[in-house]
Structure 1
Amino acid sequence: MNINWKVKAGIAAVLVAACAFGGWKYYQGQQQAKQAAAVETTEVIRMDMKSTVSATGTIRPVHSVEVSSKVTARIKNVLVKENDTVTAGQTIATLDGKDYEAKRDQAQIKVTNTKAKYERTSYLYSIGAKTQADLEDAQMNYETAVSALSEAQSDMNEMTITAPMSGVVVGEPKTPGTMAVQGTNSPTVIMRIADLSSKQIQAKVDETDIGSVKVGQTATFTVDSFTGRTFTARVTNISQTDTGNSWDTSSSSSSSSSTSSSSVIYYYVTLDVDDPGNELLPAMTARVEINTAEKAGALAVPISTLKTDANGSYVIVKNPDGTQENRYVETGIYSDEYVEILAGLSEGEQVVSTYTAKAATMTTSSKKSRGGPPPM
């Protein structure tokens, strides 16, 4: 009887253990199924990719000039108006030259007088009635008068304002009666002339993107005036200094240097614009997308699936049996939503795009290891 009881007890223990193991396996399967259902994946695919740099700039003519006067005088006549087409050398305005005419007449009279004195002194010197010094003084006075007359005549010539280049009058010219002041710092601008057949964009590019921009790259841009239309351009110049010359601390105070160091750094990038219809106007705001890289048939995954840690970039790959692994990858170009994969993945593999539940499980189950990927 005792033997039978022990056998029965052993059998019962085996049955209980088997049921417990079966229940555990069932529970584990259910948990894995729940995790698998909670995980979303995306397939590694091939696609045509384009990497761009965004910038904002202003449209401006390639060639333009501000027309000012070389002398200070009141504007007498303006012979052109806004949007008129002018050619180089064309008379576009005249100044009131009464004061300069009087100076020229006075200079002419002085030339006549000093010339007569010089000739008389020269004769007297020839007969010994005047010294060499007298002759030299008379000659100097005459030459000075001639120089003054030449300057006065030059000022008179400035009463006629001509177009320094061919183009279009941009903006409203100054009205007759306005005093045109000469100067090198802030002269009066009588009018502006621009060659609108060729235009540029001066765009500001962030320092984090400027390394990707190269001369010759193509670009597209939009302006608010033409909704839904896209124009094209090409990078022709990249400034070698930032827009504020913040690197040059020799002429900056310590406070201004501190301010510039904490601000965003931008570089000017110039792009030649394709505008055969001459539709774009100066000062329009252009929203530019510079094409920095293109690749056809690139292996790619969404940027949202890419993670990073101290060892580099990786994605979470879901294997055919439902298990997951961290797979380190080598990346290439980036588009707005996708990143190129150069090594580490194969076309058709599944990468996890949402993994919150799994990350929480891995963190809870093992405190010694770092578990799941770090938060983004």
Structure 2
Amino acid sequence: MAWSAEKRIMLLSLFLSACLTLIKTWAYLQTYSIAILSDALESIINIVTAALAMYSVHLAALPRDINHPYGHGKVEFFSVGAEGALIFIAGVLIAVKAFQYFLHPYSLQELDYGIWLIALTAGVNLLLGLYLVRRGKQLPSLTIQGNGQHILTDAYSTGGLLLALLLIRFSGWDWIDPIASLGIGAWVVRKGYHLVRRSISGLMDEANPELIDQVVDILAKHRKTNWIDIHNFRIQQYGNNYHIDCHLTLPYYYTLEQVHRENETLTQLIREHIHSGDTECFIHVDPCRPYCCPYCQILDCPVRQHPFQETIPWTKKYVLLNQHPTLENTGRTQFSESLK
């Protein structure tokens, strides 16, 4: 069976992470630098998290079934959370190892050789991380993006380590090594926290402001005259799949066939402009009411009861509300009450 693009990418990440970990471990054995050991420890976590990410990509690609009607995409949030937790633990272990230096000082060896090895790993990690983030956005895949961000973090921390090693090389101050290790530990702990936070946000269906802005902008640009209003707009993400539901206000005199056609048109519009594995839309249709007349753009409406006054723009402020915009407490409420 042919492997998907996601699986091939994660296999590449896993293979390169294993190779770079071996190089960093060899560099530590040659130099006895705690900072290099800290970097190698983080790379070991890279291997574990890459394996978790690869498995989660496999699960997320499984089709929907009776027990998982929305698919298996949310497993990616568990993967990101596990990755963040492991990174956080690695950061704590790095800090503990750095503090041990002050109890048992040491001298570095073969520093030039170690510097060249670490420079090599930093360059490869930087290229790999940038590639994973770019491909993760193209697919899109939260797991691949998360793994790419993690590897970029590893590349940046390795770059900081390289600067510290160069400073030690030219100054002879070995005490910089544990200080650099503490810095790496703090950086790793911070990154682990953010990944765990991102995982919790996804599992709790926290709103994605960037995605909402993207979809609302699409709706506003392609707004039809007979789409009187859209409100109670919500998006849930399951891996690279989206579940979207909203309320669409149409003229109350439309036939069922006309309502169905407008529903399908709106659904197709969203699917064409959202690059995702699958976008599922549930659109609840509301009939218009007299209070809709002042912002209804159907100027030749045969049942209009009040004159058109203004076009209310479809912005995130209004679209997310679970009510018609004229019912919001913005000064239009008094006008709406007068129409009852």
TMscore range, shorter length? under 0.3
When normalised by structure 1's length, the TM-score is 0.22
Query: RCO greater where, 1 or 2, for CA within 8 Å and sep 6 or more?
Result: 1
When normalised by structure 2's length, the TM-score is 0.23
Higher relative strand content:
1
Structure exhibiting the larger radius of gyration computed from Cα positions:
1
